[in-house]
Amino acid sequence: MNMPSSLPVVRLKPKANARAIRHGFPWVYDNELVTDRRTKGLEAGALAILEDDKRQPLGLVATNSNSRIFCRMLDRDVDAVIDQAWFAAKISRAHEMRQRLYDTPFYRLIHAEADGLPGVVVDRFGDTVVVQPNAAWSEILLEPLVAALVEVTGVSTVIKNGSGRARGLEGLEDDSSVMVGTAPDAPVPVVMNGATYMADLTGGQKTGLFYDQRPNHGFAAKLCKDAKVLDVFSHVGGFSLAALAGGAAEATAVDGSAAALALAEAGAAAAGVADRFATRKGDAFDVLTALNEEGATFDVVICDPPAFAPSKPALEKGLRAYERVARLAAPLVAEGGYLGLCSCSHAADVARFRGASLRGIGRAGRQAQLLHTGFAGPDHPLMPQLAESGYLKSLFFRL
């Protein structure tokens, strides 16, 4: 809890874009601030008042001199008190919207900046929520955040997933634990688009399941009736299990993780489609190459790789990787079949990703119609001022 009158002040340089901050941009980079010994000495996660170069207040921010993002906007009211009640107000607003959108309590509850809690991700799995405090301020204030989550949602279990690249960029260590209640002793079944997914909330990737692809799984399923389907970088069977729920004749999931494929198999069994489901463990590029050498073909091929371009310095290398995925996947698609290509890279916008995908398809000697461009579901709202909050792109082509 903070006493506003005692907070330090951080100030923008004269050439910094204060207008963008006033219009809703939530970050201030380290090169935009007047930084002296006092500013650099602020504890990671400390709260401060942000002023423009004319000393006019812009809002209450969380600071981190260890991060490229020095300030994250928390509240336009410089007198705001960041306590359990403040968190509860933010969470209540987000919760009300998800309850309107979804019939069951399985969704992303807090999508960081877009829901007013910078760097904080919360996914809900029924009576359990998994919290990722990916910014230093949220690590410090995790106790009132967790209390507010329980207050608003009534969940009995809160798990902290303190791992991942984002925490490293903030100077935070890996630290996961059960904050409230008892962690589930088995994967949690989650039904989406008629498919059953098994979410490992303590040992799986991220929070245990990727909710963001839900609408794209649903679209892809429409293409898969009576089809032979290949799902590459499948994780726990995202597209392949949705395809089977949509009436696919058969589906094969490819992933490098044996644990993820085991969860996919459990999901297929739970949904009663195990007899039409197969898995193939291995590096996705190696498996795609091998399938080409085998002369395999599929009616629908979908590739949903990890973020190949997670930052601007990695952009060009990442785009080449997306082009390579398309080049290897396109020959596996039967004439008149469908190819889905996805990117969750912040740095690769939809135009660049589409260009890389089309180059790969062209290099494979195929021609394409672009049928549909999909994004994350509404439980992953886009903050219009922050392009990074709209990271997911899914392109569906007919070849």
- CA–CA distance, 144 with 228 (Å, rounded to integer): 49
Q: Is-catalytic flag, 224?
A: no
d(CA 329, CA 201): 31
Q: Judge whether 322 and 330 are in contact, CB under 8 Å.
A: no
Q: Exposure of 172 by Cβ count < 10 A (0-12 exposed, 13-18 middle, 19+ buried)?
A: buried
Distances (CA, A) of 155 to 65, 91, 390: 35, 13, 28
Q: Which of 71, 303, 342, 344 is catalytic?
A: 344
Of 298, 278, 327, nearest in space to 224 by CA: 298
List C-alpha distances in Å: 240 to 145, 218, 398.
36, 11, 18
How much of the chain is in helix, strand and coil states, percent to nearest 5? 35, 25, 35
CA distance 346 to 69: 15
Q: For the chain, where are the alpha helices, taking DSSP H only?
A: 18-22, 37-40, 84-101, 136-140, 142-153, 165-169, 214-223, 238-245, 258-270, 284-294, 315-329, 350-363
Residues forming the active site: 344
